[in-house]
């Protein structure tokens, strides 16, 4: 039972990080009906920025996070203004292709800036210990859980109870109507990309604190896709629930199923995609996604 609780709590922390990243994925899809293929690369860049700020520059953790958030804001504004805004009004495919190009550019930046090498900064993050009886949770997982829960709560409050959130939801539902009401869609799109980049950067710092910074960390973007498919492509609440479910299941698979594999492991890495395939077959709209019916 102790082993199960250990896996469950660390899986919960991992799932909340997935949820945080998936929220950025969902809000871009809601506004543009296009997938942000570069979401994983943004997370990877966040991990490398966390390493740079905390190790070579030796900044305090709070300063590193604030500077990383500022970088995420600038990154979101630049991406939206230079690459996404010229494509507004076009079908979703050109935007998807543009995000693929962005993914390649960010990969190149990681290789040029950090040589694409593995970098770790585990000991630079605050050591927050959590003991639940005989269960001891790693400090990095505790920090990731706390920060992810706080950020997800803030985002949910913004989406549900502020005028900015109302404008974002209205633009996602019908851009033409919101334009007629005086809401600038370009401002909403810029804000959406800022939020997506900020949560990606912060999520990358948290994940880098757990597993280190390296180019393979960008694979988290595919797991974020599995999360939003499970929860529903247009549901922020679904992204949270889906992230928690996949994070816990992935950790349980690593603890109980990987030791049974002939190769000694590897099932946990593909487990989210197995869940994604099952969901696509039996419930393609996800747990909370809207099923739209078009009458002709």
The structural domains of the chain, with segments of one domain joined by +, span: 2-282
| 126 within 8 A of 61, measured Cβ to Cβ | yes
CATH number of the 2-282 domain: 1.10.3470
Concatenated DSSP letters of 3-67:
HHHHHHHHHHHHHHHHHHHHHHHHHHHHHHS---TTHHHHHHHHHHHHHHHHTTS---HHHHHHH
With CA atoms as reference, report the closest residue to 38 among 48, 28, 30: 28
Q: Return all residues near 179 (Cβ < 8 A) that are at least 6 apart.
A: 185
Rounded to two decimals, the pTM is 0.88
Per-residue pLDDT of the chain (296 residues; tens, 9 = 90+): 777 888 888 888 888 888 888 888 888 888 777 788 899 999 999 999 999 998 888 888 888 889 999 999 999 999 999 988 888 777 888 888 999 999 999 999 999 989 888 888 877 777 666 666 666 666 677 777 888 888 888 888 888 888 888 887 777 766 676 777 777 778 888 888 999 999 999 989 888 888 889 988 888 888 888 888 888 887 888 888 888 898 888 888 888 877 777 766 677 788 888 888 888 888 888 877 666 555 54
Length of the chain in terms of residues written:
296
């Amino acid at each position: 039972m102790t082993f199960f609780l250990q896996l469950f709590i660390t899986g919960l922390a991992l799932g909340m990080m997935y949820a945080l990243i998936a929220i950025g994925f969902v809000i871009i899809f809601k506004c543009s009906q296009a997938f942000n293929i570069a979401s994983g690369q943004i997370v990877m860049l966040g991990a490398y920025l966390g390493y740079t700020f905390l190790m070579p520059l030796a900044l305090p953790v709070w300063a590193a996070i604030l500077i990383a958030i500022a970088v995420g804001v600038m990154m979101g504004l630049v991406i939206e203004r230079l690459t996404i805004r010229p494509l507004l009004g076009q079908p979703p495919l050109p935007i998807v292709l543009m995000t693929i190009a962005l993914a390649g550019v960010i990969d190149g930046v990681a290789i040029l800036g950090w040589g694409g090498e593995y970098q770790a900064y585990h000991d630079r993050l605050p050591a927050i210990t959590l003991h639940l009886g005989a269960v001891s949770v790693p400090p990095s997982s505790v920090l990731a859980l706390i920060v992810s829960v706080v950020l997800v709560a803030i985002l949910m409050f913004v989406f549900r109870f502020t005028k900015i959130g109302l404008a974002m939801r209205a633009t996602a539902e019908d851009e033409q109507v919101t334009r007629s009401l005086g809401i600038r869609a370009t401002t909403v799109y810029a804000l959406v990309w800022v939020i997506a980049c900020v949560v990606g950067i912060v999520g990358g710092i948290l994940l880098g604190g757990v597993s280190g910074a390296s180019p393979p960390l960008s694979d988290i973007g595919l797991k974020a896709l599995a999360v939003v498919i499970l929860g529903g492509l247009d549901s922020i609440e679904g992204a949270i629930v889906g992230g928690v479910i996949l994070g816990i299941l992935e950790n349980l698979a690593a603890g109980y199923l990987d030791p049974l594999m002939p190769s000694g492991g590897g099932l946990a890495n593909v487990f989210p995609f197995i869940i994604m395939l099952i969901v696509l077959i039996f419930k393609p709209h996800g747990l909370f996604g809207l099923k739209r019916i078009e009458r002709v």
